[in-house]
Chains A and B, each alone.
Chain A
Amino acid sequence: DTAVSQTPKYLVTQMGNDKSIKCEQNLGHDTMYWYKQDSKKFLKIMFSYNNKELIINETVPNRFSPKSPDKAHLNLHINSLELGDSAVYFCASSSTSGGSADTQYFGPGTRLTVL
């Protein structure tokens, strides 16, 4: 059973294009996140949604727009892709209640390459 899934796993595109990455979790969690891992493996949070409401919005260019149609989904749309957007993007989810509250479970990551 897949807990947190992301599509696609690999994305290669040209500079200037617009692309989306989708994330779905079947854990019943109420909070979802997007992280960016750069080439040096440094992981940093970008956004977080709780019950479809944006609660964390780090210093991220406006070209990045998250959308949460429901608690189980959090998508990331990127406009006008730049070379510096090349990275691995991780989706994660967590619950604010229960025994494992606040433990974040990660998706497999999407490797984005901008040419």
Chain B
Amino acid sequence: AQTVTQSQPEMSVQEAETVTLSCTYDTSESDYYLFWYKQPPSRQMILVIRQEAYKQQNATENRFSVNFQKAAKSFSLKISDSQLGDAAMYFCAYRRTQYSSASKIIFGSGTRLSIRP
């Protein structure tokens, strides 16, 4: 069975600094998706970034980028120039192949990120 592990329950970073959130996963599949979702205090789940496993290039979205290491089954999220609005719970998530509608998302336990002004 697939699992997603986030080993950092809490992280803190100074505003404008860079922070990296860790995520590892376990799967025997070769084709899958990985995601980072953000959940601010409003509790809305917001997609931050998505990575297709078959792509070697790391996904980026403005200040957010990932370091995808497929062999190591590692998928970390880097937030550059941290802003107060980045404070939230961050969830790493895994989903199996594109062609299976019966494929569910498996979430990690989350990392709570706080931003120090």
Contacts and interface: CB of A to CB of B under 8 A. Distances in A.
B7 interface: no
27 contacts: A30-B101, A33-B105, A40-B109, A41-B89, A41-B109, A41-B110, A43-B91, A44-B107, A45-B105, A48-B101, A48-B104, A50-B101, A50-B102, A58-B104, A88-B43, A90-B45, A100-B50, A102-B103, A103-B33, A103-B35, A103-B47, A103-B50, A104-B105, A105-B47, A106-B44, A108-B42, A111-B43
A102 B97 CA distance: 9
Interface string B87-102: 0010100010011011
A105 B102 CA distance: 16
Interface of A: 30-31, 33, 40-45, 48, 50, 55-56, 58, 88, 90, 92, 96, 100-106, 108-109, 111
A56 B102 contact: yes
Contacts of B45: 90, 92, 106, 109
B47 A109 contact: no
A111 B44 CA distance: 12
Given A102-B95, A103-B50, A106-B44, A55 B102 contact: yes
Interface of B: 33, 35, 37, 39, 42-47, 50, 89, 91, 95, 98-99, 101-105, 107, 109-110
A101 B99 CA distance: 9
Contacts, number: 58
Contacts of B37: 106
Given A96-B101, A103-B50, A42 B109 contact: yes
Contacts of A88: 43
A45 B104 CA distance: 7
